Amino acid sequence: MPSPSTPACACPPALLEDVPLVIRLEREVASEFREQQRLRLEEKIRAVDASLAGHVPCCAICHRPMKNRGRKRSSFFSRFGKITMHPTKYICAPCKIGVRPLIDALGVEMGRISGSLARLLAVLGTVMPYQLAAHVAFLFFGIEVSAMAVWRAVQRLGEACDQYQEAQAAYHTGAHAEIGEPDAAPQVVVAGVDGCALGMQVRTTRRHRKTADEVLPPLPPVEDGHFREVKTGVLLLPSHRTEPSPGRRALVRRVLVTCLGNADRIFDHLWTKLILLGWLGSQTIVVIVGDGAEWIWNRAALFANRCEILDFWHAMEKAWEFARLRHGEGSKTAARWVSRIADDLRKGSVEAVIARLYTLKARSPEEQDKLDGLIKYYTDNACRMRYDEYIRLGYGIGSGAVESAHKQVVQARLRQAGMRWSEAGARRLLALRVLLLNNDWSTLDRLSMKSFAA
Q: Which residues of the shown chain bind Zn ion in the complex (CB under 5 A)?
A: 59, 61-62, 92, 95
61 vs 454 by CB, closer to Zn ion: 61
d(CA 230, CA 414): 10
**DSSP state letters, 276-321:** HHT---TT-EEEEEE-S-HHHHHHHTT-SSEEEEE-HHHHHHHHHH
Specify the amino acid at residue 125. Answer: G
Shortest separation between residue 200's beta carbon and Zn ion, angstroms: 45
23 vs 93 by CB, closer to Zn ion: 93
What is the distance in angstroms between the CA of the first residue and the CA of the last residue of the chain?
Answer: 50
- Is there a contact between 46 and 85 (Cβ–Cβ < 8 Å)? yes
Shortest separation between residue 306's beta carbon and Zn ion, angstroms: 54
Shortest separation between residue 62's beta carbon and Zn ion, angstroms: 3
d(CA 415, CA 66): 52
Shortest separation between residue 90's beta carbon and Zn ion, angstroms: 11
Shortest separation between residue 100's beta carbon and Zn ion, angstroms: 16
92 vs 334 by CB, closer to Zn ion: 92
99 vs 236 by CB, closer to Zn ion: 99
- Is there a contact between 291 and 314 (Cβ–Cβ < 8 Å)? yes
Chain Cα centroid distance, residue 364: 45
Residue 236's nearest CA partner among 283, 287, 295 is: 287
48 vs 93 by CB, closer to Zn ion: 93
Residue 198's nearest CA partner among 434, 436, 410 is: 410
- Is there a contact between 262 and 293 (Cβ–Cβ < 8 Å)? no
Shortest separation between residue 88's beta carbon and Zn ion, angstroms: 17
91 vs 412 by CB, closer to Zn ion: 91
